[in-house]
Amino acid sequence: MKLLKYCPDWISIVAFYTALHFIEALLKKKHNLDFAHHEERHSFISANIPEIFSAYYRLYDLGFNSRYMSINDAPSCEEADSAVRYELAEVEEFVMSRI
């Protein structure tokens, strides 16, 4: 049974912003950092927390495509389902084990 069957675009957006809040909590608590721009955050995570960069960036990419690209670029139900089950779960587990 699929976890998510409807609205993969919105599911992807919510999954990304959920991951963003996890990351923001970690960055604030462990590094006392706040970033105003995604690119700055991406650079820091890539260089300093590479264990979750791939999962985090996949969520970012799916959310970005859902918000700003054409309907043809929106994630499928399967992609949204996978993003929540794996990438978001990976980010959450990593962060929660460290804060």
Q: d(Cα 48, Cα 67) in Å, to the nearest integer?
A: 28
Closest of 92, 19, 28, 98 to residue 62, by C-alpha: 19
- Average pLDDT over every residue of 83-87: 94
pLDDT at 5 over 50: yes
pLDDT band (50, 70, 90) for residue 96: very high
pLDDT band (50, 70, 90) for residue 92: very high
- Average pLDDT over every residue of 15-42: 96
Hey, where are the domains in the chain? 16-96
Q: d(Cα 81, Cα 52) in Å, to the nearest integer?
A: 18
Q: What tens digit of pLDDT does each residue of 47-76 get? A: 999 999 999 999 999 999 888 877 777 788
